[in-house]
């Protein structure tokens, strides 16, 4: 997914400037060089409308959305979201960092994993799906970032699993996460531990002892 986002350059910096921007309905941000540092281009302070930014963050691709950043009506620069801050109470956006990307150079991103289908091991054997690895790191060109990595699990029986290396055929990306990483498997359901026979006998003996009447010393009769 690629979108266009309009931003305005801001000459002033600081907390007071950022507060004024937020009161005026805009979110302060910074555009960094390629790779998220200042070595690949000029670092710019900008502001953006929060609604447009929220649309990006709420999209299926989220922070992996390729953005054509248009500065003051100029030519679009291709960027990704490096980081963003949200107020913990109001959940309003407070700040956003972008970084430039070169369309002909591979980058590293983290992509969510999505499971599809219901395993036979669940339907037939009563097993349980254990979703072990919910995202993986990959390298690819910016234009080929997948929204998610889909894993079909319908054929899995209890004891079966899928590792990352099994998902690499025909994909336009290369894994950074270890290829032997277990993504998902089907496991047997846990059975509640039944009390042992010895434990039951001990409980019964304790209950019998508590039910017997107790004789106090003062209640004993003398034979004299």
Q: What is the tens place of the pLDDT at every residue in 156-181?
A: 999 999 999 999 999 999 999 999 99
Cα separation values, 31 from 95, 99, 104, 182, 183, Å: 11, 6, 19, 36, 35
SS3 content of the chain, % helix, strand, coil (to 5): 25, 35, 40
Task: Answer whether 166's CB lies under 8 Å from 127's CB.
Answer: no
Strands 174-175 vs 44-48: parallel, antiparallel or unpaired:
unpaired
Token pair in block for residue 205: 């003996």
pLDDT (0 to 100) of residue 207 = 56
Total count of domains within the chain: 2
User: Would you list the DSSP string of 27-82?
Assistant: EEEEEE-GGGSSTTS--EEEEE-HHHHHHHHTSSSGGG-EEEEEETTS-EEEEEEE
Determine the Cα–Cα distance for residues 18 and 22; give it in Å rounded to an integer.
6
As a whole number of Å, the end-to-end CA separation of the chain is: 104
pLDDT < 50 positions in the chain: 38-39, 215, 220-224
Q: Are residues 15 and 71 in the same domain?
A: yes
Determine the Cα–Cα distance for residues 102 and 40; give it in Å rounded to an integer.
10
Strands 93-100 vs 27-32: parallel, antiparallel or unpaired:
parallel
Q: Are residues 94 and 21 in the same domain?
A: yes
In a domain, 91, yes or no: yes
In a domain, 118, yes or no: yes
Q: Are residues 179 and 137 in the same domain?
A: yes
Last residue of a domain, one of 77, 100, 123: 100
Q: Are residues 96 and 17 in the same domain?
A: yes
Task: Answer whether 103's CB lies under 8 Å from 56's CB.
Answer: no
Percent share of the chain, pLDDT over 70:
80
**Which CATH number fits the domain that encloses residue 129?**
2.170.120.20
In a domain, 149, yes or no: yes
SS3 track for 115-163: EECCCHHHHCCCCEEEECCCEEEEEECHHHCCCCEEEECCCCCCCCEEE
pLDDT (0 to 100) of residue 185 = 98
**Which CATH number fits the domain that encloses residue 61?**
2.40.240.10
Instruction: Compute the Cα dihedral for 93, 97, 102, 108 and give only its sign.
Output: negative
Q: What is the pLDDT of residues 67-83, one digit of tens each?
A: 999 988 788 999 999 99
Residue with tokens 């339907």: 123
Q: What is the pLDDT of residues 136-152, one digit of tens each?
A: 999 999 999 999 999 99
Enclosing domain of residue 12? 2-100
At residue 10, the 3 state secondary structure works out as coil
Task: Answer whether 68's CB lies under 8 Å from 42's CB.
Answer: no
Last residue of a domain, one of 100, 128, 152: 100
Quote the pTM value: 0.76
Q: Are residues 78 and 131 in the same domain?
A: no
Last residue of a domain, one of 50, 83, 100: 100
Q: 10 Å Cβ neighbour count for 65?
A: 20
Q: Are residues 92 and 114 in the same domain?
A: no
Q: Are residues 178 and 95 in the same domain?
A: no
Q: Are residues 56 and 128 in the same domain?
A: no
Instruction: Compute the Cα dihedral for 164, 170, 171, 174 and give only its sign.
Output: positive
């Amino acid at each position: 997914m690629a979108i266009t986002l309009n931003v305005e350059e801001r000459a002033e910096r600081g907390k007071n400037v950022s507060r004024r921007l937020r009161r005026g309905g805009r979110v302060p941000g910074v555009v960094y060089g390629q790779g998220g540092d200042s070595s690949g281009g000029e670092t710019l302070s900008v502001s953006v409308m929060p609604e447009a930014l929220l649309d990006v963050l709420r999209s299926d691709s989220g922070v992996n959305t390729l953005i054509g950043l248009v500065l003051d009506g100029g030519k679009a620069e291709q960027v990704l979201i490096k980081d963003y801050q949200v107020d913990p109470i109001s959940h309003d956006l407070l700040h956003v960092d972008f970084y430039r990307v070169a369309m002909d150079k591979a980058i590293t991103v983290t992509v969510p994993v999505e499971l599809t289908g219901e395993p036979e091991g669940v339907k037939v054997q009563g097993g349980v799906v254990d979703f072990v690895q919910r995202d993986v790191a990959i390298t690819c060109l910016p234009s080929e970032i997948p929204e998610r990595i889909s894993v079909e699990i319908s054929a899995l029986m209890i004891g079966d699993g899928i590792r990352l290396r099994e998902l690499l055929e025909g994909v336009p990306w290369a894994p950074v996460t270890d290829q032997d990483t277990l993504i998902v498997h089907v496991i047997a359901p846990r059975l509640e531990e039944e009390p042992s026979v010895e434990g039951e006998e001990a409980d019964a003996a304790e209950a019998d002892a508590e039910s017997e009447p107790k004789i106090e010393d003062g209640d004993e009769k003398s034979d004299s």
